[in-house]
Amino acid sequence: MNHNKYPLSADLDYYKLTMGQVIHEYHPDDIVTFTFKNRDKVNKLSEYVPVDELQNRLEEIRAVGFTGEEIAYYAGLMASDDGARFSEDYLDALADLELPEVNVNINPETNDLDINSTGKWLNVTFWETVIMSEINQIHYKNMAAERGLSLDDLYAEGNQRLTDKIEKLRAHPGIKFADFGTRRRFSREWHEHVVNRLANELPEQFIGTSNPWFAYEYNLAPIGTFAHEMPMVYAGLAGARGDNPLNGHNEMLQNWDEVYDGDLSTALTDTFTSEFFWADFTPEQAEKWSGLRHDSGDPIEFGERAIEFYTQNNIDPSTKTIVFSDGLDIDKIVELYEYFNGRINVVFGWGTSLMNDLGLKANNMVMKATHVNGEPTVKLSDNEGKHTGPEDYVQNYASLAKEAVRRAGLVLAA
């Protein structure tokens, strides 16, 4: 397989680059560990992803890093004020960046992949999406070979499903969506094929991609702000210095705004539950930030709460945007668009069912920042099953989040 066609950026989400600039500015020396987890307890990824094959592929990527062509593209990206999106100092750091070693093993208890990497936060953060993308690349290649599946047949099925999606989207021309599928796609080649079709067939509705290489290749807008990783690590740092760890959440939002000054201002709400977010997000921030990203919990309930929150703070909801990005399919996208149209702007970040819908089961995996400077990190999703971190830390964070909501005296629509 020709890997050379696809550089490191083809395995990235754009938010890795935007987060990286804040990390470079404020936390250049903090040490973070990323740990991989297969959420599927039944289907072992190790069945089709040999340790040696994955390890060797990651070493190939590590040996190359970012190319000059990639850095030149990043240097040409503009912010909304027509200034450079990324500073020269940050671009120099990316050009010199060395990805840390990755440990790929089989966990004897689960008989599944056991993967982690530790290094300076800026260096190690890029492994998250790269490792997940490469696992899928190997997994589906080997699965197809072992089961005697024809790639042509899989592509024909995927193409028909994609055509059906495009027809439904054409029937709702007001729907705007972006590709968020890098981490859970079928393959790089299929990802590029889908992006190509969408860019050509739905140019007014397909607003961009989270994949910076395909944004570059197809002259699309790169889409992304920050992920759960940022507030999780900031909270870990706050806890390690003896503060309430949840103070790290707004500290992170403030640092973000210091770097981007109202640009890239879509806030992810569910790192420590959206209830906590409503309590912690100030009216001034609500006014300045352009919108919110929904990534867990009931999307309609979330949208109603967002509208109520803005209204209570004397902000016209129609001036703000919700980016829905949790487990979307075409029918859910149409439903949410029709429900909220005219009340608040909605955009869709569409991942797995856009980029991995060829008739095979999609993998369900994550790779999270699990420690910073030895301190465990925590995520409190709006779906309790997605909580991450040691149980005692999770319980402490949950108590602190509930106390913050209580102190705020929050009154929101149910």
- Tell me the C-alpha distance between 259 and 389, whole Å: 29
Q: What is the β-pairing status of strands 177-179 and 345-350? A: parallel
Give CA angle at 220 (68, 258), nearest 5°.
Answer: 75
pTM score, whole prediction: 0.96
- Tell me the C-alpha distance between 219 and 215, whole Å: 5
- pLDDT profile of the chain (414 residues), mean per 10: 76 98 98 97 96 98 97 97 97 98 97 98 98 98 97 97 98 98 97 98 98 98 97 98 98 98 97 96 97 96 97 97 97 98 98 97 96 97 85 96 90 43
Dihedral angle computed from the Cα positions of residues 21, 22, 23 and 29, in that order, rounded to the nearest 10 degrees: 100
Burial class (CB in 10 A: 0-12, 13-18, 19+), 258: exposed
- Tell me the C-alpha distance between 390 and 174, whole Å: 44
pLDDT at residue number 410? 64
Fold of 8-408: nicotinate phosphoribosyltransferase (3.20.140)
**Strand-pair partners of 112:** 107
User: What 3 state SS string does the chain have?
Assistant: CCCCCCCHHHHCCHHHHHHHHHHHHHCCCCEEEEEEEECCCCCCHHHCCCHHHHHHHHHHHHHHCCCHHHHHHHHHCECCCCCECCCHHHHHHHHHCCCCCCEEEEECCCCEEEEEEEEEHHHHCCHHHHHHHHHHHHHHHHHHHHHCCCHHHHHHHHHHHHHHHHHHHHCCCCCCEEECCHHHCCCHHHHHHHHHHHHHHCCCCEEEECCHHHHHHCCCCECCCCCCHHHHHHHHHHHHCCCCCCHHHHHHHHHHHHHHCCCCCEEECCCECHHHHHHHCCHHHHHHCCEEEECCCCHHHHHHHHHHHHHHCCCCHHHCEEEECCCCCHHHHHHHHHHHCCCCEEEEEECHHHHCCCCCCCCCEEEEEEEECCEECCEECCCHHHCECCHHHHHHHHHHHHHHHHHHCCCCCC
